Amino acid sequence: MVQTGMAKILDVRARSVWDSRGRATVEAEVAVKGARGRAIAPAGASTGSGEAKSIDVRQAMHFINTEIRSFLMGKKLDQETIDNALIALDGTPDKSRLGGNAIVAVSLACAHAAAAAAKKPLWRFLAGNKPVAMPVPQIQIFGGGAHAQGRMDVQDFMVICVGAGSFSESLEWTAAVYRAAGARLAKRNALYGVADEGGYWPAFKTNEEALAELTGAISDAGFEPGADVAIALDIAATQLWRGGRYHLALEKKTLTAAQLHSLLLGWIDRYPIVSIEDPFAEHDMEAMASFTRTAGHRIQIVGDDFFVTNEKRLLDGKAIGACNAVLLKPNQVGTLTETLACWRAAQAAGYRAIVSARSGETEDVSIVHLAVGWGVGQLKVGSFARSERMAKWNEGLRIEELLGRTALPYPARRLFKTAQAPRW
């Protein structure tokens, strides 16, 4: 990571602000001479058990304003040193003493302050002089799981504009698909509202109906399913796992891992799916490895709760051949430095990565800068509605404009249009 070296921390403060679910969360502000940085901790609903633990917001504010503040005052704004010091100061394996929410807000605020002191946008500060590409968005159209009271079992039905030539074109195409999906639902009188991340919350009878409707919406919007716009799923299967079985409440089915495996393979055969996240529960290593062996050459298989942005868990997964991609959520592990370590480990292991928001978000756009600055290649921030989501897509548009012709080629076609036979 690029360092300013010189800037010294003059102040660290916390305040309580509100997130997209109307819940209190913590914002940290870090001041250096002539510049400051600010960041807000997001919050998940379908959290992995291996995540850094958030604590009560008042408590988190207290720790930032006292212990963390007195510890950081006068220290050089060097990200890795600060993050390692925060980890040591906390002293627990899951950041439960000072709080993962307190630590991630301070860690990100330090990065913003360092970039501001260097008079650079954060993405440029992180990239140094390296050329960068815009990330390919995964955008939710239907929301379910823990984000919609379990109405649908699958948490995210998303699109990836695999045939789009740029970030902005991907957003234009997604806007058309989002509207087409909404129109189909309105026509069938099958719309409850929107789920936590802004995707439609539909009254479908089966999970497969959502796949058929989404494929239909892609066509309605004038695109060829699979060739122009493809489907990505987040099963968030940890939420479905109870007593050794996967429970699909909507369809009143209880499946073994082997049966879920067959169900997902059937979906991949029948629908233009190019990516599946958390197809099995966080502890189900063997099921994940077996699914990767069977489907990993055809689709991207992403570990979210399965890896919790943890370098060690990623290496363990690699050792048994589980997944071929990792979701990167800074608040899942707690610091920017650990998030970067996971991304570096993923690159070394030949895994892809996707920088991701949480279901509880704010106007904070830090993750967009991480996706661009680190050259991660993909970005997931929820749906195409509600300003905590749109703030991030719009920040991407500003960065794309700034990059102009200096951007590396947009990676959508390279990532997703390789050996895809026209199966649909």
What Å distances lie between residue 215 and 45, 175, 321, 385, CA to CA? Answer: 27, 15, 30, 20
Question: What is the rounded CA–CA span in Å between residue 236 and residue 279?
Answer: 7
What is the b/e burial string over 232-249, where b = at least 16 CB atoms within 10 angstroms of the residue's CB?
bbbbbbbbbbeeeebbbe
> Under DSSP, is residue 116 helix (H, G, I), strand (E, B) or coil?
helix
Q: Which residues between 172 and 211 bind Zn ion (CB under 5 A)?
A: none
Residue that is written with structure tokens 């990330």 in the block: 135
Q: Does 361 bind Zn ion (CB under 5 A)?
A: no
Which of the residues 318, 329, 380, 392 is marked catalytic?
Answer: 329
Pick the piece of the chain touching ligand PGA (CB under 6 A) from 41-49, 65-73, 134-142, 338-346. 41-49
Q: Which residues between 42 and 81 bind ligand PGA (CB under 6 A)?
A: 44-47
User: Which of the choices ligand PGA, Zn ion, none does residue 45 contact, using the CB cut-off of 5 to 8 A by kind?
Assistant: ligand PGA
Q: Does 140 bind ligand PGA (CB under 6 A)?
A: no
The yes-or-no answer on residue 197 being catalytic is yes
Which stretches within 200-335 are classed as H helix?
Answer: 207-220, 257-270, 285-295, 311-320, 330-333
| Strand ranges across the sheet with 35-40 | 11-18, 24-32, 35-40
Question: What is the rounded CA–CA span in Å between residue 382 and residue 369?
Answer: 16
Q: Does 304 bind Zn ion (CB under 5 A)?
A: yes
User: Which of the choices Zn ion, ligand PGA, none does residue 137 contact, using the CB cut-off of 5 to 8 A by kind?
Assistant: none
Taking residues 223 to 252 in sequence order and writing x for each that binds ligand PGA by CB under 6 A, - otherwise, the string is: -----------x-x----------------
Q: Which residues between 300 and 359 bind ligand PGA (CB under 6 A)?
A: 304, 356, 358-359
Assess contact for 172 and 223: CB atoms under 8 A.
no
Closer residue to ligand PGA in complex, CB, 292/359: 359
In terms of phi and psi (left: phi > 0; alpha: psi -120 to 50; beta: otherwise), the region of 323 is left
Q: By rule CB under 6 A, what count of residues binds ligand PGA?
A: 11
Question: Residue from 19, 234, 282, 364 that binds Zn ion (CB under 5 A)?
Answer: 234
In terms of phi and psi (left: phi > 0; alpha: psi -120 to 50; beta: otherwise), the region of 145 is left
User: Which of the choices ligand PGA, Zn ion, none does residue 190 contact, using the CB cut-off of 5 to 8 A by kind?
Assistant: none
**Contact residues for ligand PGA (CB under 6 A)?**
44-47, 155, 234, 236, 304, 356, 358-359
**Contact residues for Zn ion (CB under 5 A)?**
234, 277, 304
Active site amino acids: 197, 329
